[in-house]
Structure 1
């Protein structure tokens, strides 16, 4: 194993970016290097460690347990290097570095850029990596640094704060209702054209938790992209379930509000590093301030 005195920081930079992006090509783009160069850096680091850090699979690079164990230490070195660079530049008051945020696809696309805009104008040294995903990312494995989740996190070691409530509703386009009529109960949705998920197990679990009889629905348009589902409902292809705020902004008609209006708590969640890293804490504090205005239930 290479001793820390002789450790090459460029190898750790490549390692951190490959861990974050999951591929050599994506890391190469951020490093402004070629993919073969990043590949050689990873192999050199693996030789120094004495074992493979990534399993090469058809789906891409999968970190080994040893890579996961080294990742937090490498992040600490990265944070220290960024702090040193900031101090040398004489900009101690401005946090710098990359913060990876994950949230649901609709919120990531439609609202989060608007909410982050004033923060990023005031903090030009911070880069946001947005992971638009409906899956519950594992912050302990550093899939992301900060998450906006619509279910309370189960891991006890995470920092979590409830920032509001989100309401769901059933929505349809006026043109669809003019052609097919308006259902009056959830049971009548079985006679209508529905827009729903495809193979997403997370969406299936949500439907089960909300007691939605999706198995009896005639789903004419399936997509695991929530943005894709919303576009289909706006186009009049069928009826769909979505966040009330999203449906209202799209000018859709809400149906059966008295029968179906479930609310879910919204949580701002972070890895424990948010207590230590200035850039993590800055993003977390900003989101904690603005999200309650978005999710008033």
Structure 2
């Protein structure tokens, strides 16, 4: 007969992908986790996981059960609120995926604010160069510069940010301050590694020019910013990161204005879970509250 308690083991293994990690979180032996999963698969007559070298991966049936099990879990967690015996609170893990720059320079410190308000949350911030697949549960929430395509996704624009050209004082002292867009053609730039760009809107320098001379390329926006600050060349940077480095000097600030929209995406199976709802509400609110940090130097 199906044992409801086996869902606890199923959810943890689905989230951790490895027996040892799931066992540690559940405070049991890894053989117990393995046994309970085997019993659950037998009781339901389905294969829930593919056992691969890099861990346990949900099958199609496993993904279906995961969505149902999470709803059951959240309903249980919401019982105090539903019965009027507690305040609204979020518990559990929420994985937010985004690009490196906005994750490191903008999102991280603001997600910490939420963690202080909701101590039951475990927040994971994952940075990737490619578009995250929410349908495959690669993350719970995705913050991106383009609206992702996929079935049953809830996508909303939450804000936008501005980018501008920057260089270091050392670079300007050596090569001069360009006074026009045409003058930029004679300068050296910092840019992305072309063949590693998974999302074309990240190649934002092309909105200004296709540079003839590039001295440094990196797939990391953080590395690009450090290279620009060291004096190797001019680069196009988001204001939310550039304003944090006093060594960076804006170039043609009023003439060169590049903008990117920011989208928040969540799978509709997760949209109404308390922890997802609270995190998405917080993200939307601080994009509105801190719009100036994204737009103003």
TM-score range, shorter chain: 0.7 to 0.9
Q: Distance in 1 between matches of 2:126 and 2:160?
A: 22
Conserved 8 A contact 1:171-1:255: yes
Distance 1:193 1:240, change over 3 A: closer
Moved more, 124-133 or 182-191: 182-191
Which residue of structure 1 aligns with residue 282 of structure 2? Answer: 286
Alpha carbon RMSD of aligned pairs, Å? 3.6
Q: Residue 265 of structure 1 is aligned with which of 241, 261, 264?
A: 261
Distance 1:49 1:235, change over 3 A: farther
Q: Residue 233 of structure 1 is aligned with which of 228, 235, 241?
A: 228
TM-score by length of 1: 0.77
Conserved 8 A contact 1:54-1:62: yes
Cα deviation, residue 291, structure 1: 0.8
Which residue of structure 2 aligns with residue 202 of structure 1? Answer: 198
Distance 1:123 1:208, change over 3 A: closer
Q: Distance in 2 between matches of 1:153 and 1:203?
A: 11
Conserved 8 A contact 1:195-1:233: no
Distance 1:13 1:174, change over 3 A: farther
Q: Work out the number of aligned pairs and report it.
A: 291
Cα deviation, residue 73, structure 1: 1.6
Cα deviation, residue 287, structure 1: 1.9
Cα deviation, residue 175, structure 1: 1.9
Q: Residue 119 of structure 1 is aligned with which of 105, 109, 114?
A: 114
Determine helix, strand or coil for the equivalent of 1:263: strand
Q: Residue 100 of structure 2 is aligned with which of 86, 94, 105?
A: 105
Once the two structures are superposed, residues 228-263 of structure 1 have per-residue CA deviations (whole angstroms, 9 ceiling, x without a partner) of 332333333443332122112223122344564221
Conserved 8 A contact 1:207-1:214: no
Distance 1:76 1:217, change over 3 A: farther
Q: Distance in 1 between matches of 2:267 and 2:47?
A: 26
The answer to whether structure 1 residue 79 and structure 2 residue 60 are counterparts is no
TM-score by length of 2: 0.77
Which residue of structure 2 aligns with residue 158 of structure 1? Answer: 153
Distance 1:231 1:30, change over 3 A: farther
Alignment of 1:1-297 (within 5 A): 3=1, 6-7=2-3, 9=5, 11-33=6-28, 38-39=33-34, 41-50=36-45, 52-84=47-79, 90-155=85-150, 157-182=152-177, 185=181, 188=184, 192-197=188-193, 199-204=195-200, 206-207=202-203, 210=206, 216-222=212-218, 224-251=219-246, 252-257=248-253, 260-273=256-269, 275-295=271-291, 297=295
Conserved 8 A contact 1:173-1:236: yes
Conserved 8 A contact 1:108-1:130: yes
Moved more, 239-248 or 17-26: 17-26
Cα deviation, residue 72, structure 1: 0.9
Once the two structures are superposed, residues 88-129 of structure 1 have per-residue CA deviations (whole angstroms, 9 ceiling, x without a partner) of 995343333332222222222233233234433332222222
Contiguous gaps of at least 5 residues in structure 1? none
Q: Distance in 2 between matches of 1:39 and 1:259?
A: 61
